[in-house]
Structure formats: structure tokens, C-alpha cells
Structure 1
Amino acid sequence: MKLASVGSKFVFVLFFALGLALAAGTPAGTEIRNQASAKYTDSSGQPQTTTSNEVVTVVQPVYGFTITPDGTEAAPGQIKTGLQGAPVYFNYVVTNTGNIADTIQLTAPQGTADAFDFSSVKIYHDANCNGTVDPGEVEVTSVRLDADASTCVIVEAVIPAGEADGNTGHANLSGASTGDPSQTDTANWARAVVTSQAVLDAAKGSSPSGTVVPGATIDYAVHGSNKGGRAAGAVTGVAVVDGTPTDGILIADAIPADTTYVLGSASGTAGAGSVSVIYKVGGAWTATEPASGSDVSEVALLIAGAGAFFPQGAQYRLGFQVTVDAGTPAGTTIENTATVNFDASGDGDGGDTGEQVESNTTRTPVGASRAVLNGPAGDPDSDGAGFSASYTDPSGTTWTYAETTDTSDPRNDDAQRINEAVHGGDVVYFKNTLTNGGNVEDSYTLDVGGVPAGWTCQIMAADGTTPLANPVGPLAAGAALDYVVKCTIPADVTTASDTDLTVRATSEGDPAVWNETHDVVPPVQSGYALDLAKDGASGDGDPANDNPAPAAVDPGATAYYGFEVSNTGQNPDTYDLGVTVPSGMTPTIYPDPDCDGVLDSPAPAPVTDTGLLDPGEKACFVLAVEVPAGAPPLTQDPNDPADDNVTITATSNANPAISDTITTDLIVNPVADLRFTPDRNGTVTSPGTIVYTHTVSNLGNEAASVTFAESGSTHPTWTYQISTDGGATWTDVASAAAINLAPGASQEVQVRVIVPDGEPIGAIDTNRITANADYPTATDDSAGVTDTTTVVGGDLRIEKRGETCADAACATITSADASQAKPGEYIRYTVTASNIGTADLKKVIVSDPLPGYTDFASVSASTTVAGAQLLFSTDGTTWSPTAPTTLATGQAVFVGLDSNADGAVDENDLLAPGASLTLIFTVQVQ
């Protein structure tokens, strides 16, 4: 047979969604982002965190569509009766099941297993899906649909004049995707049966024609007429109304699922017979409308009459309303079809071919009713119920909050305020809850506003450690997600009033839908304070007793002063130590671990700061002031602070505006000898270089020529060099040129230690540098310094890569770098955490969050640590050797190294240098 001849035609472009089935999942162009993180304890005992590179996957187009109803020539999906020379109308729905807009090419071939060809076949766009070709509706050859959108089309087929009753003709609506021509739908056959008897048709429409939301009203109307060759007759006992059988024609319409009949809305008319509206209640027909619309399961127009009473051209109409039930999910399609039962053959049974007619099916999509609730943990709707008033952060600090609610605000504005004092340098945490209050799955962008300059605020998972990338989700309707706002306050910040951090959650589906919650930080107090005083006097609040006692020494001797520094602030801090002494004298500060004010022997390595002190912690030191030989006497008044010639200052490293100073006297009495000071103690990486600075002093009464030598090094591969010109030139220690020192003169000498690659952490080398003084007449003298060098290091590197696979086992890889993926494909992330340092790392935990637009598939892990096991967790605290099999949106999977296989992840679990652990995390693109 032939293709139908088609007159003037249009390509119909449609962006109207009749259904929201989301058949093809995540829209093309969506970015799926994923970043792993790890935490561990380094070789110095300090907790550390690090993050991997981010893997970004772009979702690729998937094309697909359906045409319904389906049917073959042998078993067509639609059968209509028609009069010779008249058209019959076949109703279809075309749906884009892909994830990207597409144009569907349409044709209407005729059958080969029938009795005749239609004289013409045309395809029309049924704009309002009422089953009728209305004025202005155009003939089309294609339709363009957004992803998941549907539209109605009508195939009009004209039966040739003169065809015999009972003959059949077949037509098919066939389609092909423009985006992917391999996607076709060609089995949608319909059959027309020729008749000269009565033909009642039925066309059904609904209003509105677009999407509806829960609570909306839908108007239904079904109408038709007798388009046949004779009058239509009554069906005997077509309906039993209130127990009485009634003859006539029945147009019945079931109340669709997810809707409720609107009382008083049903009405009907007909061009012949006696008209009444009847209702099916409890499975039986009644002429009395019930008191509740929910009791009505079906509405009907009963046209009572006898014999062939409904003439050619007579029309009928039935109309009624329903409301969409509350809670109906977005994506639901409310379908409605009416049926007509009449007698065409005169036997009154209403069961012959063509005597039971179905209308077209209206399809009303339930659209997205988007809403978002965003508030303090446990209380996103701000009604005060369920509020979680505390949160313990990853460091173990517990924050408590007071909630303020405002249920009168249309967006449920609310706030929580930290109860504890907050200081500069603090990291504060707020736990919040985000809930999808709509009827459709949605994702959300979380933004923190009102962040002061210098502050850093991040959105984290509920564990407070794992970063959450925007958008978060998707969340199913009614689902909730806990998240944490983490804000780092700069060390030098103070504020006079509250800081209001506004956290806005914005719907990805409709950016006009958003909700804010307020996380309030109380006035920020200074986090830094200190007290510098003589031994035993810091932190007592009495500045009158802070100054150390004066010291009296001979020329060439050393004066010692014991002092201590207390951290009286709220944050850990390091204090830089500064000293001023009389000209020509050399001050050196040493740690004093036992706080006895006496320099330990051997002397520890000098320091220039206190090291890190926790709040309330103190550290003791000894200031050694070397008085050069030949120095003139210094006479001071111990009772007059105004002439003090030694000052010690401690300055906050975090906030240099915070400092404290003490003063004392140095009284000098004048001897002659050579001094070489001080000993040095330092740390260096492998490979690495460290420079120690020393001072050689002639405290004698005549000039001296000074040379240098070394001894004591136990590492022959380490190189020691010396410079006597401030680092401009370097030589081997023994090859250094002699320096000449006048009486009382001093010169700085630098020693450079070069450590090669491959030295283990903890390796120590102690080298003695000796200065030998040659005096013209006096006995030669010598002095030396000891340089102690320790190798330190350790680091965790975390690397991430991804690949896209066609299957969960990744037997077929479609993208080697996971730069793209299609809905239904799998992304396999491989996260490797390696100890690239030279010291053991402790308590190593790697975490990876489930990215948006994906579902959990599987997780596994391995390690190179012999005898170790890997433990899994979904909260970072509860561990199991069994990998999880499910993971919720926004949740992370944690893998911890249990090197001693004791079932715990703690400080006893070690990741040795060069060792690694690997996490393999597979997800499926929605």
C-alpha cells in the first residue's frame, strides 16, 4: 500500500509537558561533582585534613520517545467505526522519554492486511488534547518536545465512498527521533470498520490544558453526536438506577485516581431523549448526589428512550469537575476516558461491534509544587518542635544554641544563636536541616550570606568534615538533609555585636523558591592575651612582681634571667620572643622545661618563640646575655626601673597587637678568653638545608687569630659548611680562612648543614664546631658550639580519578576520565591516600560523599599495609569491616585504616611511609 498523501504541513514545536515521568533521568548538561577528603594525625601528633582533586562529570544526551496506544495490524490498538465517505479519528500521545529536547518525525503509512486504503490520511496536532480537530489546529509532520514532555496528535483517515459494511482499513502513526534516528516507534496501528448504521463518537477535553498542582480544579467535558447513517437506539437496561433498570444511551466517566469529584458540578444535555445525571456510589448507580464528593466513583449522562430514538446529527454533552488530591506527587499523570454505550443494530443489547465507544484519553500532568524548608537542626519549619540545641564538632567541642522562630513569616524565617563565648581564631559550627516541602524531587543551592571580610564559611556534611558541593540533593518530596555551616573567624577579629550569617536554600527547579535561616554568632571577643613575667609570677594578674631580679657578671661571663610566658587568651597561640640588651652583648633564649630559672646542661637548642601554647598553658625560658670580654663596667640601680638595660618582649604571633614586656638590670664587672656560642638545635626535611648562626667573641685583652675545625658527625653523607661573611661565601669548616678579632670584638659565624635525600625521619646528627684562638703572647684558647640536627617530615597525599562505565562492574568503560556520562551509566571513583613523607601517619580516615544526581552502587577498599584491615562507616564514628550497601543523598562513606586489626580506628593505627589505602566508590547516574 501507499503512504497517505499529505497537503500543507507544519513542524510543530512543543515545550508543553503533559507528563513528568522523568524517564531518562538527569538532564543533559548537568554537572556531577565529587571530591574526597581525609583526616589523619601527623608525625608531630597534630590532627590534619586534606582534600582530593575534584572529578566533574557532564551528563550526556539520551534520546527516546514513545507513541501510544501501541498496536499491530493483526491486533490494532484502536478500532473505530465510520460511515462511507466520512472521516474517522485516531487519537495518539507522543512522549519524549529522553533527557534532552528532540524533534519526532511523524508519518502515517497505511496497512497491507486490510480491505481498502483510506482516501486520505492526515496528522494533526491536538493542541488541547480534547480528541477533536478544532479550528486552527494544523496538519503536522513532526513535533518538538522538551525532555519528558508529551503532546496529543490525531490521525484523520477518510473512508472511501461505496465501501461495504464490515470492510476494514488500517493506518499507523510512525515516528523517528531527529537527535538519534535509530530511535523509532512504528507499531501503533489503528483500524476503521465501515458501517451504514448509527455511529456515536466521543471526544473528551479537560481544562486547564497545562499542569496542575494539588488542590487545583480540573474541568472535564465529553461530547459527541450521531455521525452514522441512521438513528441510534436504546440499550435495554443500560443502567440500574436506584434499583430500577432503565433503557437508553449511557455516557459514563470514571473519577480519575488522585482526584475527588466536586459536588454540584455535573451537568448534561442531549438532542433527544430524557436526560439525567447519575452517580455511582458504592458500586451502584443513583440519581441522588451524595453528601461527599469522595463517595462518587463515576459520573454518567443517562439519555433515556425507547427504540431508535437518537436521530442522525443529534448531539450530547456531559461535564463535571474534580479537585487534585493533596499530596499527589509531581510527575503523576491524571488520565480520564469516557465510554458511550448505545444500540446501532436494533437488537437492544449494546454489545455489537461499534456499540461501545471510548473517547480519547485526557492526560493532565501534576506539576511541581516546589517548597523548601531550611532551619535549625531538627526544626526546618520553625515551629519550635524537634529543635536540636547542640552539636559536637569534629574536634570534640560541643556548641549549644538558642532558637528564635517566626511562624508568621511566609518563608518560616528562623534563627539559632550560639550560647558560648566566641573568640577571634575560633572555628564555629551550626547544624541545620533542609527539607523538600514540595511534591517533586528537587536539588538545592546552599549559600551563606552576611559573611564578614576575612571570615571563611563552608557548607559541610553533617559530620562537619566532608565538604558539600552545590547543588545538594536531589531530595525526594518530604525528604530531609542535615548539613553544617562551618565558619573560621580570623585570629585578630573582634566584634561589638552579633554577626548574622544568612543561609539561603534555593530550589534548582525554581530559583524563585527559597528559604533562609539565620545562624547567629555572638560578639566576637579577643581570642589572644598573654602574661610575661619572672618565673612563678605569670598569670597572677599582678604586674608589680613581673620583672626578674638584676644580674651582676664579670666581662666575658653570661648573665641569666628566668622568665615565663602564660597564654591567658582563649585560643592556642605562639609568642615571638624579643630581647634588648646593652650594646655589644649577645642575648640568647633557651627553653627551661623544669621552670627552675637555671639553664639546663647541656643547653637545649635556642628558641625565638614559645612554640604553640594552649589556653592556660605556660612555658618557661632562660635568657642568657653574654657580656663580651673587655666590656666596660656597667653600674645600675637595682631599685630604679627607669635605668633598666635589659628588656624581654613576648608578642602574639596570631595578633601582633598583643604583647607584654618586662625589664631588669645587667651589671657588668670586666676577663680575657675566647667564646663561641651558642649551641644550635634544628629540624630539617630530607632532602633539605638548615643554617645555624653562631658568634665567636674575643674576650681577651689582645687581638686573636681564629680558625675552625669540626668533629663528632656520625653521618658521612651530610655536608657541613661554614661562612664568616654573612653567608656570601661557604667553605668546608677546616678550610675556612682565619678571622682576626680585636679585644672585645665578636663576629657572626654561620654553619650550613646539607642533608641528602632518603634520610629517615628521626635521624639525628650532632656536630661540634670548634673555634681556636691564637694570641700573640697569651695562652691560646678555644671554644666550640654543638649543632644538633633532626630530620622531620610526613604528609598524606590524596588523589582521585574517575571513569564512566556501562555496567556496575566497569567491564565496559565509556569515558576513561569520567568527564561525561549518560543516565543509567556508572561512575567509578578511585581515591588513593598515600603517605609521601618519611614518618608514620596515624588514624588515617578517607571519606567521599555521594554526589548529586546519582544513586549508590557499591564501595570497596584495599591497602598496602600488611596484616591491616579496612573498616567502613557512614557517620565517621561507628565502624564495621562490612562495606555499606546503601547511602542516602548527601551522606558520605568513610574508610579507616585499622593497621593492628583490633576493630577500631585510632592513634594506634599507622600508615607507614610509602604505604597507601585505596577507596573504590561506584555510583549510578540517575
Structure 2
Amino acid sequence: MKQRFQLSKIATALAVVGGVSFFGSSAMAATSTPLAGQNISNVATATYTDNTNTERVVTSNVVKTLVAQVGSFTLVQSNERQTAANSSVSFPHILTNTGNGTDSFTLNITNDAGTFDWASYNVYIDRNQDGIADDGAAALTSTTAIELAAGESIGLVVVAKTPLAATAGQNDSLILTATAKTTALYDAGKNTASNTDKATIITGAVIEIKKEASVSTIGANGYITYTLTFQNKGTAAATSDVIIYDVLPSNVTFDTSTVPDAKLVAYYNGSSTALNPGNADADGFYFKTRSDAKEAFTFNAGKLAAGSTGKLSFTVKVKNAAANGEKITNTAYADTDGFTPGTNTPLTPDNVPSVPPVTTDTTLVPSNPNNVTVVGTTAHSINDDASVSWTDNNVPAGSAAGIDDQVHAAAAQGQAIVFGNNATGGDVIYVHNSGTTADSYNLSVAAAAGSSLPAGSIIEILKADGKTPVTDNNTGPIEAGGSLKFVVRVTLPTSGTVVPGTKLIMTSASVSNGSNKDTISLVVDSFTKSAVDLVHNKGTAALPDYVGDGQNSSTGVPDTALVPGTSKPLDVTIKNTGGTPDNYNIAVEGVPTGWTAELFGKDASGNCTNTKVTNSGTIANGGTGSYCLVVTAPNGTPATNIPETITVKISSPSTGSNDSIGFKLTIAEQRAISFTPDRQGQLAPGGSIIYSHTLSNIGNVAEAAGGKTLNFALPTPAAGETVTVYVDADGDGVLDAEELVSTATGHSLNEILQNAKFDKNGLAGLQQGESVTVYVKVEAAATATAGQSYTSTVQIQPEAGAVLGSNSILSITDRTVINLGSVRLEKFQFAADCTAVPADADYTINLQNAKPGQCVFYKVTATNQGNAGATAVVINDAVPAYTTYKTGSIARDPVTQGTAPTEAGGNVNYNVGTLTPGASATLKFAVTVDKATTP
């Protein structure tokens, strides 16, 4: 009677026992299909020159795309066996999930047409893939299913029994079909796969061979011991010598002729005496590396008696070039007549057919195929050598001058400190993957012991172009043997300074192996402070006589007697004694009630003008600016010899350099949180900007749950700006009112993270590995002046007494500079098939999902929101990890704006030129989500 049954769920515990193999435990290679749920983040930058002739850098919002799941699997292989009546026969198979996410599979066995009916048949788990049902394993039933993670494979074996009444020449077949349960993940017709197992009844000798490996996973240069078990299950001895042979896979070796290795030996039936691989002996074992470079051996097992069993074991070494995730697949054969098919030529290593042989020779019996998965090793370094990988301070002898595991930079106040933005070794930063598998690395920068940066400093890690920030401070995947260049930019707060010799430590840590870390030192060799001296010229423009030299000094400034109702001009001169051009806001304080004291400009002859001044404008280093302080005491002011002191104060909005001078006047927190990155941007007076940040739980416990709280210490505006903070609980990229952080009930960070909008999976709080986007909105005062800056710091605070891990990043700092030519950069995306032609309305800032092989279309728009022109505008972007640039997709709008954008080596560049107030320019390009080629 023909029978049919289905298998269902196999316990997920299979994932942790031997025989369940994976493509690899570390990051998949850059050209592989990324795993479902992989985050593809991207951010653009733009540089431009504002109306004060200062170069500015602005970053866009981050857009995120999640890799969607696609289904793919294999079931191998079909089998043909010879067997006797009333005998069991085994058919091995391997089921592998080659998709990019977890799926479950059902199995179905159909008894196909034949000349006898099977007495019974069942399917079993074969964890070590030796073609034998595992000891004590129960037959899979119709209530079980097989769940496999991406890249996971499991061995199966169909064990069938022939009926007693079967006669020689009869045959029957079984069809094993695997069906994926999540049909929507597969192309039409691709959610099933079948193998056919056929057995033919013979009399006399029936030879069966099985192959077992000592391990299921192995690293490069590791050793695998294979055991071949062969048996005569028939009723009579073999009439000819049975030849066992194997052609080894190309990623292992048994050859010791070049490099001796005592471990590469073979033994028979448990003997402690190794077999001789040469042909001139009587042990029957003959190994040879053939002229086609393939390694093969034969073993003469003799005329096996009925019921007899033999075991041949041999050890091979995995070659150094074996890559992570690579499969070592091998099948051995028993030839029952000892000749090549259709001839009388004895089998030797030189003439055994390649695996698998293409033949209908019924005397040839294959073993089960055996898979061992190569697991890569992790090793890397970060150093200042563009070509050679070496770790902390182990500088190779003979290295070029300047290569010392330190990157040096000179700094000046008011300018960013940039490390590694050089073309050659010595002062470059490279991360090298010296392991055997693709890996990615988390990067961090912190002050070394004994060094510090001023509060509010912004540290940015940039890609090789020195402009585009990395996302989530991660390198993205680097293939084995590869390297990537990075640049570090440190922006100090307005008044910030550092001492020469200040050292920062940049650390790279393997994502696959957190203990694999390396560091490089970033050293500030020199620092030129900004300096200014506010003085009074008591002489003339032609013959100046300056007094009041020194910080906040009024020494030598004479008292001045005012005539009530009569204005008195007093000279005020600003000397820029620093090393860089600067500008200064000017304020007058201490003016008595009813008096007036105003500052005016001077003409070329030194005469006071009618132009009021509140900012000096740019003064070159070493240069001066001269102004008139016009003071008037009202009519009726009583005469007094007790002076009133009016103070003029100046302060640079760019560097914080300041000075003052007085005029005396008489009358006749393993919890770990990552909150990144710091941002900076520009605004016109009265404008607004939104900065996006990512708050991630990088520890191993849930935050904002189970008594663990996270809340914000919000910034206190200090210069008339308005700062608001939102937590994007629903992930839609929209600043909703209920997501505003405030003191109102339900609006603290902790409460928002426990809100049902964020709690999508029934797990309150910020779970391990979970992230949420935090938006900081900065609105400038309408009275803000060019060069003024706002520093907005948002800090994470856990509950009282709690300590978060040392790897936590608990605050972000956003620096906003006011200028009249202010460029805003916005980034949008659209995920679709690569044949799509997106309309402008299709683009969004919201999260997208894309399948491997689909495209993500990007649109980056730069808009001048100020009231002065922005020149030398350049938009920079980069192709994100796990994607490839779509050739020919780059475009600009308007097509006449600037020069045509280009893509080279993953860097996208658009030289926009000048943007007038209110004008915009748009860069468009597309990337393809990586998809591995199906063999």
C-alpha cells in the first residue's frame, strides 16, 4: 500500500547540537546576501562657504532601510542503492536554508511507482551527516517541522526496508519533498524541492558505505578525521576485490610530500599502525596527488565476506585559503568490481572518476555526502599604515618614516581638529581585517589618561573622504585581507582650547569577537589660541597711543568729563592677536539710567560714522578694528567727581575669545547605552533645524523596564534659542505631540519608551539591541547674529545610584551656528525594484524595507534657507554597507545647476556651486541591496 505523511516542527534545540551547520558565525561577506532585518543607514554631508567667507559643514538626517527577508533553500541529493530482500537501506539528504532569514519546512514522502512495495520507511535526523540515523532518535512524525536559521543546514536520512518477497531485479522509489511554510518569501514554484531515492534488489554481495566527519565546523588550517564504514549486507561474499576510493575536495589536503605533517595519516579497523600511502606495499592503501592537482586515494578492502564490516579512517588538513562559510563537501565510493566503468582497467588514484562520477555503473556505491562548514577567524588592527596590518605599537622593522601608531595634527582655535585626512602613511587611520572572514568593527574615540577635551566638544568619525560621517560609529563589513581608511574630526566648543600633547585613543572592536580590539593614538602637536585685546587710543589715527593693554585691563585709560546733553566720542580699538581671522560681538554694559552709550563705525580717516555696530565683522589675525563709543549724559545731570564706569565687552561667537575695557566718566552611568552621534548645522536668524540621533541599548538587559529607568537631562537655552526634544516612538519619522519630551505626565523618556506605540512586540522598554530615534529641534532667535552659536547637550540619566558600562555614550551635543547664508541638507529614500522610476512624491524620510536585489533610491536636497548667497556648495554621500552603486543612476536637479555629479569607489560627489537665498539643488542616485549569486 502506498503511504503518505508530513513532518512538522523539530525542536529549535537542534540549533545548538552537533550536525547543524551554518555559513559562519561572524559577519557575512560584503558580497553575500545580508541577513533579514539588517539596518542600512545612510547620511549625507555638504560643505559650503557662507557670507563671512567661512567654510561650513552640514549633515543631513539619517535614512534607514531594513533588509527584507527572502526565501531560498536546497535539498540534496537523490540516491540509488542496491540492496537485498528483507533488508534496510539508508538514503542520506541535507536540507539547507540558503535564504537570509529563519524559515520552517515540512517534509513529505511519496512511495513512487515500482515493481515492489516498501515494507516500511521513516525519516530521521542525522546530526553529524554520516548517513546513519542518530542513536536513539525517534522517527519524525507528521506533527513535527524543521525550523532553520539563515545559512543553517541539517542532515536527514530516509531509512526504508524491503519486503521479504522482493526478487532480484525489482526496484522501488521514494520521493522526499521539502516545502517552505512561509510561501510569500519565495518566487512562484520555488518553495518546494524534491529528491528521488531508488533501490534495486540484487542477490549475492550488497555493499554499503557510510562517511562520518569528526567535526561539523572547522577553521582554516584545522584537521578533520573522516571515518568510512563499509559493510557487505548481502548473502554472499563479494566476487571481486572491493575498492574504496575518495577524491578529496579542493579545500583540504592529505599530501605531505611538500610540507611534512604527522597528523595526515590513515588507519584501518582501529589499528595503531598507519597505512603506507605508497603503492609498493601490501596494505592496499594508495594515495596520490594527480596531474590535474586533485588528491585521491584507493583502498583495496578485498573480497568482503557476507556480514563483514570494515572501517577506514584518515585525517586531512583544511587549507589556509578556506573562507568563512565555505562548505567542505565530500562523498566516498565503494566499487564492487574494482575496475573503471566498462573496462578491465584496475582502479588507481589516477583514474578514479571525479566526484560525483557521471555513470550508470551499478557496481559503484556512493557514501552519504558529508558537509563540514569552515568558520573564519577574527583578527584586525587599527594603525597609521596604509598597507600593513599590525597591532598596538608593534611597528614592523623597516616601516616608512612617521609610521608609529600615532596620528598627529596641529590645531587652531575656531577650527576643527582633523586627524588622518592625509594621502599617505604616517598620519592616516586604517582599519585592517587580517582575519579569514569578513567582519565589521565598532569605532570609538576617547581622551587618553591625563588628557581631556573641553565640555561640549564634538567628535565625529568620518569616511575616507573626510566629510561623510560613518553611521552608528561602525566601519561596515571589511572583507578578509581588506582595509578601510577613516578620518576623525574634533570640533571644540566656542571657547574651547586644548593643550599641546593632548592625546585621544581611537579603539576598534570586532563585532564578531568583542575581545578582539586594537587602538591608535591621536595626538595634538600644537594649539594656536585665539586672542584679542580691546584697547583705547588716546592719541590720533596718525599717531596712535594705545592704553588698556591686557586681558580685561583699563590701565592708562584716562577719566573723561562729560558735559550734560553733549555727546562724547571715545575710541575703542579691537586688536586680533590670535592666529586665525575672527569676528566679535560688541556689548556695552554699566550705562547709568537715562544715559546713552552706543557704538559706531569709523571711516578711513578715523572719523565717527552714523552706522551703529554690534559686531566687528571679520578681523584678520594681526589686524585691528577701530570704533567710536559715543556717550551722552542727559541734561540736568548733577556734577560729580565720582566716576561712573561704562564697560565695553567683546566676545567671538566662533572661538569665544573675549576682552573688556572700562571707561570712567565724570560730570563737570553590564548596562550600556549608546546615544549618538553629535551633530552640527547652520541656521539663519529665526530659522529652525532638526537633528536626528540614535539611542541604542548595547547592553544585555532591557532599559526603561523592570525598575531600570532612563531619562533626559534637557539643555537649558542660553542665547535666546528654543530647544525641544522628541522620541520617535512609532518610528514614522514624524515629530508627534505625544512624542515631545517634557515634565508632563507620560512625556518623560522613560514613560515614552514604555508607551504602547513603542512597545510593538509586547516587551516594554528599550530591549537589548533595540534602538529609537531621538530628534532635537533647535529654533534660532530672530535677533541672532551671524557667527553666534548654540550648543545643545542632551544627557541620558539612569535612576539614582545606577552605573552604566564604561562603553556607554550617554550624551549628544548639537552645535548650531548662525549665519546669513545657511544651507539645510535633507535626505529622502524610496525602496523598490530596480526598474522603478520614482516620482518625487515617492521619496520619504521614513523607514523602508528592501529585498536583496532590490534598489534603494536616494534623493539629497540642499536648500539655502538664509538671506545671503552660499558659495562652493558641495554635496557628499557614500554608498552604504551591504549595497552596491547602481550604474547610471546618478542625476541632478536642476540639470543646469553646478557640474554633473560623479560616483567613484563608493563616494558620490555633486559640486553644486552657488545657491542664492531660497534656491535648492538635488542629488539623486540609487544602490542595489547585495544578493549572493545562486550556484
Q: Deviations over 1:564-616 (max 9, x none)?
A: 1112234535253436688865333222253x5432xxx23222443444543
SS at match of 1:472: coil
Cα pair 2:329 2:369 within 8 Å, conserved: yes
Does the CA-based 8 Å contact 1:279-1:286 persist in structure 2? no
Instruction: Compute the displacement of 1:143 (Å).
Output: 2.4
Q: Distance in 2 between matches of 1:90 and 1:298?
A: 25
The equivalent residue for 1:17 is 21
Name the structure 1 match of 2:714.
none
The within-5 A match list for 1:32-431 is 32-69=40-77, 77-112=78-113, 114-141=114-141, 142-180=145-183, 183-209=190-216, 211-234=217-240, 248-261=241-254, 263-264=261-262, 265-269=264-268, 277-278=276-277, 297-303=295-301, 309-343=303-337, 353-376=361-384, 378=386, 381-382=390-391, 383-384=394-395, 404-405=404-405, 415-418=406-409, 420=410, 423=413, 426-430=416-420, 431=428
**1:10–1:848 distance in 2 versus 1, CA, 3 Å:** closer
Q: Is the 8 A contact 2:89 2:159 kept in 1?
A: yes
Residues in 2 aligned to 1:135 and 1:551: alpha-carbon distance in whole angstroms = 107
Count of matched residue positions in the alignment of Structure 1 and Structure 2: 720
- Counterpart AA for 1:805: A
- Write the distance in 2 (CA, Å) between the matches of 1:915 and 1:494: 37
Q: TM-score, normalised by structure 2?
A: 0.68
Partner deviation per Cα, 1:735-765 (whole Å, 9 max, x = no partner): xxxxxxxxxxxxxxxxxxxxxx9xxxxxxxx
Matches within 5 A, 1:758-773: none
Corresponding residue of 1:895? 910
Cα deviation digits, residues 779-809 of structure 1 (max 9, x gap): xxxxxxxxxxxxx954433332211112243
Q: What one-letter code is carried by the residue in structure 2 that aligns with 1:504? A: T
What's the Cα RMSD here? 4.3
Counterpart of 1:605 in 2: which secondary structure?
Answer: strand
Contact 1:551-1:560 at 8 Å conserved across structures: no
Could you give the per-residue CA deviations for residues 712-744 of structure 1, whole angstroms, max 9, x where no partner exists? xxxxxxxxxxxxxxxxxxxxxxxxxxxxxxxxx
Distance in 1, Cα, partners of 2:120 & 2:96: 26
Name 1:923's counterpart in structure 2. Answer: 927
Contact 2:547 2:556 in 1 (8 A): no
- In the TM superposition, residue 827 of structure 1 has moved relative to its aligned partner by 1.0
Q: Is residue 285–residue 298 contact of structure 2 (8 Å, CA) maintained in 1?
A: no
Task: Mark the runs of 5 or more structure 1 residues left unpaired by the alignment.
Answer: 70-76, 235-247, 390-400, 406-414, 636-642, 669-683, 688-756, 758-791, 874-883, 898-908
Q: State the Cα distance separating 1:831 from its structure 2 match.
A: 1.9
Q: 1:150 corresponds to which letter in structure 2? A: S
* Paired AA for residue 313 in structure 2: G
Gap change, CA 1:352 and 1:887, over 3 Å in 2: closer
User: Which of 503, 506, 509 matches 2:509?
Assistant: 506
Residue 316 to residue 915, structure 1, CA distance change in 2 (3 Å): same
What does the per-residue CA deviation read over 1:803-822, in whole Å, with 9 as the maximum and x for residues that have no partner? 11122434799997552122
Deviations 1:840-898 (A, max 9, x none): 33222222221222221143223237x5453224xxxxxxxxxx3x643xxx311112x
The match for 2:871 is 842
Residues 1:441 and 1:537: Cα distance change in structure 2 (over 3 Å)? farther
Query: What is residue 797 of structure 2 aligned with on the other side?
Result: none
SS in 2 for 1:871: coil
Per-residue deviation at 1:662? 5.6
Q: What is the deviation of 1:195?
A: 0.4
The structure with more radius of gyration:
1
Mapping 1:559-570, distance limit 5 Å: 559-570=568-579
Could you tell me which of 417, 441, 446 is aligned with 1:444? 441
Structure 1 counterpart of 2:831: 804
The aligned residue for residue 36 of structure 2 is 28
Contact residue 502 and residue 523 of structure 2 kept, 8 A: yes
Distance 1:155 1:232, change over 3 A: same
Equivalent residue, structure 1, for 2:745 = none
Structure 1 distance, partners of 2:370, 2:93, is: 11
Change (3 A) 1:421 1:539: farther
Give, in angstroms, the shift of residue 333 of structure 1.
Answer: 0.9
Q: Deviations over 1:187-233 (max 9, x none)?
A: 31121111012112111111112x21112111111111111121113
Matched to 1:515, the amino acid is: D
- Distance in 2, matches of 1:664 and 1:386, equals 68
Residue type of the partner of 2:133? V
Would the alpha carbon gap of residues 28 and 579 (structure 1) be closer, same or farther in structure 2, given more than 3 Å must change? closer
After superposition, the Cα gap between the structure-2 partners of 1:295 and 1:807, relative to the gap in structure 1 and judged at 3 Å, is: closer
In structure 1, what residue type is equivalent to 2:828? R
What is the distance in 2 between the residues matched to 1:5 and 1:609?
86
How far the C-alpha of 1:440 sits from its partner, in A, is 2.0
CA distance in structure 2 between the aligned counterparts of 1:377 and 1:849, rounded to whole angstroms: 23
Aligned to 1:245: none
Q: Contact conserved, 1:278 with 1:300, CA < 8 A, in 2?
A: no
**What is the CA deviation profile of residues 95-119 of structure 1, one whole-angstrom value per residue up to 9, with x for unaligned ones?**
001111222211221112x222211
- SS at 1:621 equivalent: strand
Matches within 5 A, 1:662-701: 663=663, 668=668
Structure 1 contact 530–569 (Cα < 8 Å) conserved: no
Cα distance in 1 for partners of 2:365, 2:52 equals 84
Whole-angstrom distance in 2 between the partners of 1:796 and 1:259 = 59
Q: Distance in 1 between matches of 2:429 and 2:58?
A: 24
The CA distance in 2 between the partners of 1:6 and 1:83, in whole Å, is 28
Deviation at 1:270, TM superposition (A): 6.1
Give how far 1:561 is off: 2.8
Further displaced range: 529-538 or 32-41? 529-538
Q: Distance in 2 between the 1:276 and 1:686 partners?
A: 87
Letter in 2 for 1:558: S
Q: Distance in 1 between matches of 2:685 and 2:870?
A: 16
1:196 aligns to what SS in structure 2? coil
Residue-by-residue CA offset, 1:472-492 (whole Å, 9 max, x unaligned):
322222221111111122344
| Further displaced range: 310-319 or 443-452 | 443-452
Q: Classify 1:497/1:793 alpha carbon distance in 2 versus 1 (closer, same or farther; 3 Å).
A: closer
Q: How far apart, in 2, do the equivalents of 1:347 and 1:657 lie?
A: 96
Equivalent residue, structure 2, for 1:640? none
1:559–1:280 Cα change, 3 Å: farther
Partner letter of residue 429 of structure 1?
F
Cα 1:424/1:523, change in 2 over 3 Å: farther
Q: Is the 8 A contact 1:222 1:317 kept in 2?
A: yes
Q: 1:320 to 1:607 in 2, by over 3 A?
A: same
Q: Which moved more, 1:3-12 or 1:573-582?
A: 3-12
1:852 aligns with 2:843: no
Quick one: distance in 1 between partners of 2:312 and 2:288?
Answer: 19
Could you state the TM-score of these two structures normalised by the residue count of structure 1?
0.69
- CA distance, structure 2, for counterparts of residue 823 and residue 620 of structure 1: 65
Measure the CA separation in 2 of the matches of 1:563 and 1:589.
9
In 2, the alpha carbon distance for the partners of 1:28 and 1:547 equals 75
The answer (yes or no) to whether the contact 1:864–1:915 under 8 Å persists in 2 is: no
8 Å contact from structure 1 (residues 14, 145) kept in 2: no
Please, which of 861, 868, 881 is the counterpart of residue 891 of structure 2? 861
Distance 1:347 1:49 in 2: 78
Three-state SS of the structure 2 residue aligned to 1:434 is: strand
Where does residue 693 of structure 1 map in the other structure? none
Alignment partners' CA distance in 1, 2:47 and 2:270: 81
